[in-house]
């Protein structure tokens, strides 16, 4: 089999049905299966999917909500496809994206994973990838100056591919990530320490360290209803922050981590000051919330301690 399309569901049945319908409608010329792994939803998804699709899909019910990455890992264990396509339930395929991405992986042996161009409901380009990993110091320095350096180096191709030719990137966002199954198994899949968010970036970090490349393939086109599958914005921010801190610790040495925490502090404070001057109340609330979640004394103290400790180790 060519591709296993894997979709994680958690109380998103209406979105999920649209996503599955689009896969059946748009996919041709490739042998594939659809696996829905359910994180103990209460949306009656098992019965609804059984009535609508019967044995056309595989339904894997989990006894509890174990998070995005771990749920995908469970589905990968039973997947038959040569390539694994991790697709969000809040997506709709606009063309034969499954075959386009699968063919690209098959024809480019040093490409470990890939994804397509994403669009919002109005058909406008939206966040499809990142050009660098966020732990890098240059990312935070760039953020302090409102992204001016990334605009100079990447122009408008920062998060979306306007060039309409395959583009090497650092991170394909998890909404439409296709990866070779052999490589996924070799890397032991998504890191189980992540519950949700940044697990795809950490996996792709390891893919690149393994010597493979990550590519955006713009001919594959997908609508991403970003945020529609998550109702509580405050809870979402907290989960993002928790996962981001895990990501930092797994991919960054102690010296760099210490500097990053300092830069995060100045980044958030500068945004609060600027938006206070401009009287942008919603922005003030957002960045104040980020301050409360990102800037914890324990993180600062721990990073300082580890930084000093690493200095003494180097001296010895």
- Residue 94 is predicted with a pLDDT of 98
Per the CB < 8 A criterion, the answer to whether 191 and 243 are in contact is: no
- Residue 86 is predicted with a pLDDT of 98
- What is the CA angle 28-34-35, rounded to 5? 165
d(CA 49, CA 12): 12
Q: Is 5 helix (H, G, I), strand (E, B) or coil?
A: strand
- Residue 286 is predicted with a pLDDT of 74
- Residue 8 is predicted with a pLDDT of 97
316 residues of the chain, pLDDT tens digit each: 999 999 999 999 999 999 999 999 999 999 999 999 999 999 999 999 999 999 999 999 999 999 999 999 999 999 999 999 999 999 999 999 999 999 999 999 999 999 999 999 999 999 999 876 554 445 555 555 555 555 555 556 677 889 889 999 999 999 999 999 999 999 999 999 998 888 999 999 999 999 999 999 999 999 999 755 555 566 676 777 788 788 888 887 777 777 777 777 777 788 788 888 888 888 787 777 666 666 554 554 454 444 444 443 443 3
- Residue 15 is predicted with a pLDDT of 96
Domain 3-224 bears CATH identifier 3.90.550.10: yes
Query: 45-53 vs 13-26: helix axis angle to the nearest 10?
Result: 30
- Residue 283 is predicted with a pLDDT of 78
d(CA 171, CA 21): 27
The ranges assigned to domains in the chain are: 3-224, 253-315
d(CA 32, CA 1): 6
């Amino acid at each position: 089999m060519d591709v296993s399309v894997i979709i994680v569901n958690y109380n998103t049945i209406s979105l999920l049905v649209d996503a599955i319908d689009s896969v059946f409608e748009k996919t041709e010329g490739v042998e594939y299966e659809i696996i829905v792994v359910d994180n103990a939803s209460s949306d009656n998804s098992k019965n609804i999917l059984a009535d609508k699709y019967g044995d056309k899909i595989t339904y894997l019910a989990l006894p509890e909500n174990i998070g995005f990455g771990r749920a995908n890992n469970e589905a990968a264990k039973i997947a038959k496809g040569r390539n694994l396509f991790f697709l969000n339930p809040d997506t709709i395929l606009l063309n034969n994206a499954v075959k386009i991405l699968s063919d690209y992986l098959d024809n480019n042996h040093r490409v470990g994973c890939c994804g397509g161009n994403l669009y919002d409901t109005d058909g406008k380009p939206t966040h499809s990838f990142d050009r660098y990993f966020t732990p890098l110091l240059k990312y935070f320095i760039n953020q302090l100056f409102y992204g001016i350096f990334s605009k100079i180096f990447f122009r408008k191709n920062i998060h979306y591919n306007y060039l309409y030719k395959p583009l090497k990137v650092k991170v394909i966002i998890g909404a439409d990530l296709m990866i070779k199954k052999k490589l996924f198994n070799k890397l032991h899949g998504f890191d189980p320490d992540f519950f949700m968010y940044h697990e795809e970036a950490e996996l792709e970090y390891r893919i690149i360290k393994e010597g493979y490349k990550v590519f955006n393939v713009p001919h594959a086109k997908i609508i991403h209803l970003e945020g529609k599958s998550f109702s509580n914005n405050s809870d979402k921010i907290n989960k993002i922050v928790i996962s981001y801190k895990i990501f930092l610790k797994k991919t960054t040495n102690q010296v760099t981590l210490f500097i990053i925490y300092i830069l995060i502090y100045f980044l958030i404070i500068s945004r609060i000051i600027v938006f206070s001057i401009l009287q942008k109340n919603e922005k003030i609330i957002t960045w104040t919330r980020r301050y409360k979640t990102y800037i914890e004394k324990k993180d600062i103290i721990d990073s300082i301690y580890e930084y000093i400790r690493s200095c003494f180790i180097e001296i010895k």
